[in-house]
Amino acid sequence: MSNNWSRHFELQLLKEDGSGIALSGFKVTFKVDWHTGSSPKTAEVKIYNLAPDNVNRIAQKEYSKIRLIAGYNGLEPVVSSSEVGKVRVVEPAEWGPRDGMNFGVIFSGDIRIWMTGREDATPDDWILIQAIDGHEALMSATLSATLAKGYTVKDMYQLAAGALKPFLILPGRLPPFPETQFPRGYTFHGKVSRYLDQIGKLCKATWKLSNDRLDYYSAAEKVHPPVNLNSQSGLIGRPQTSTNAGVTLTCLINPTIQLHGQVKLEQNRLYKSGPLTEEKYTPPSPDGVYDIYGIAYTGDTRGITGI
């Protein structure tokens, strides 16, 4: 289990080629919404006291993408003297629980709207950025190609994934491809999103652009096994049950927990939504595994409660 000590936060403003700047030392507040269905992942980020030059670069669309990396560094690891001073390269695939640490990308998307202002009764200026994951790709990516007879759904996927690469969207989770070979050739022409829908229907899966990746999810497949949540692993307060047998809970930011994954709730009691009748109500069993249908990240890098 990772140690939820020492908050980790990185904010990156990126150009179209992937280069950019890091603003990790600034006061930043953020909210990221991520839900199942057709709605894309969205973020609202407020950066305080950003240099006017960088504000202008955002206004001129030199910086077109924003990326948030958050979590916890954990306790300082113990290493041998021979390893001191040596650089250890950590690839994105390694983000998540590792050596007592647990941080990773919680949002990466296109800047859509920005505005500037000043905090009331303070000298602090701010810029508010609203961003949407994969927005440019969804709006602008097109496909124009022909596949000869005998093509497969996997061939369709490779065409669509190739059309997303100019927008820095890479292949992620693959759908379960059927072995069907189509008896006639077909010309693909139009928005990539249209063909992503077709691929999803043929594979009995849904798709989503998330953190610069194209991911497909089949109904029976889970992104990750249940992540244990209790007061020792980051659960905050008591979860609430609702009339549809779902549970709403709050925990410390944990990039391991993903949409279409699962959590295992380990709590002695759940709050019940709505009024209770006298004292005859028996709280539902706290132990249980729940599918994840929505995640909201909120944080304040200088706040008391933290990210």
β-pairing, 262-265 vs 227-229, is parallel
Residue 5 has pLDDT above 50, yes or no: yes
Beta strands 235-241 and 247-251 are antiparallel
Burial 227-248 (b: 16+ CB within 10 A, else e): bebeeeebbeeebebeeeeebe
pLDDT digits over 164-219, tens only? 999 989 999 999 999 999 999 999 999 999 999 999 999 999 999 988 899 999 88
Q: Which domains does the chain have, with CATH numbers?
A: 7-136 (2.30.110), 138-162+175-203 (no CATH)
| Among the listed residues 107, 97, 75, the one whose alpha carbon sits nearest the alpha carbon of residue 228 | 97
pLDDT the model gives residue 82: 62
Interior angle at CA 304, CA 266 and CA 10, nearest 5: 85
* CA pair distance 287, 38, nearest whole angstrom: 31
Amino acid, res. 89: V
Rounded to whole angstroms, the Cα distance separating 222 from 290 reads: 11
- Three-state secondary structure readout of the chain: CCCCCCEEEEEEEECCCCCEEECCCCCEEEEEEEECCCCCCEEEEEEECCCHHHHHHHHCCCCCEEEEEEEECCCCCCCCHHHCCCCCCCCHHHCEEECCEEEEEEEEEEEEEEEEEECCCCCCEEEEEEEECCHHHHHHCEEEEEECCCCCHHHHHHHHHHHHHHHCCEECCCCCCCCCCCCCCEEEEEEHHHHHHHHHHHHCEEEEEECCEEEEEECCCCCCCCEEECCCCCEEEEEEECCCCCEEEEECCCCCCCCCCEEEECCCCCEECCCCCCCCCCCCCCCEEEECCEEEEEEECCCCCCC
Give the residue, 285 or 88, on which the prediction is more confident.
285
Q: Provide the whole-model pTM.
A: 0.79
Token representation of residue 114: 């920005």
Q: What pLDDT shows up at residue 194? A: 93
Say if CB 99 and CB 140 are below 8 A apart.
Answer: no
pLDDT tens by residue, 236-293: 888 887 767 678 889 999 998 999 999 998 865 455 555 544 444 445 555 688 999 9
Percent of the chain with pLDDT over 70: 80
Q: In whole angstroms, what is the distance from residue 95 CA to residue 79 CA?
A: 20
User: What pLDDT is attached to residue 107?
Assistant: 95
Q: Is 37 exposed, middle or buried (0-12, 13-18, 19+ CB in 10 A)?
A: exposed
